[in-house]
A = this chain, B = another copy of it.
Amino acid sequence: MSQAAEKFPSPAEQTRAALVRAGLRLFGRKGFEGTSTREIAALAKANIGSIAYHFGGKEGLHLACADFIVETIRSIANPELAQAAAATGPNDAAERLKQSMERIVGFFVVSPDVGDFAQFVLRELSVPSPALDRLYTGVFEPTHRQLCTIWEQATGEPAESEVTKIRIFTLIGQVVYFRIAREAVFRRMGWTEIGPAQATLIASVASGNLSSILASRKGGKS
Contact = CB atoms under 8 A, between A and B. Distances in A.
Report which residue of A31, A170, A188, A213 has the largest number of chain B beta carbons within 10 angstroms of its beta carbon.
Answer: A170
A208 B164 CA distance: 12
A183 B141 contact: no
Interface of A: 29-34, 119, 122-123, 125-128, 132, 136, 140-141, 144, 162-163, 165-167, 169-178, 180-185, 187-189, 201-202, 205-206, 208-209, 211-213, 215-217, 220
Chain A interface, DSSP helix/strand/loop, else mixed: helix
A100 to B, nearest CB: 15
Nearest to A202: B166
A138 B133 CA distance: 36
Contact of A31 (B127, B173, B174, B217): B127
Contact of A30 (B33, B162, B166, B174): B33
A169 B141 contact: no
7 contacts: A29-B127, A123-B126, A128-B183, A132-B183, A141-B187, A169-B185, A213-B213
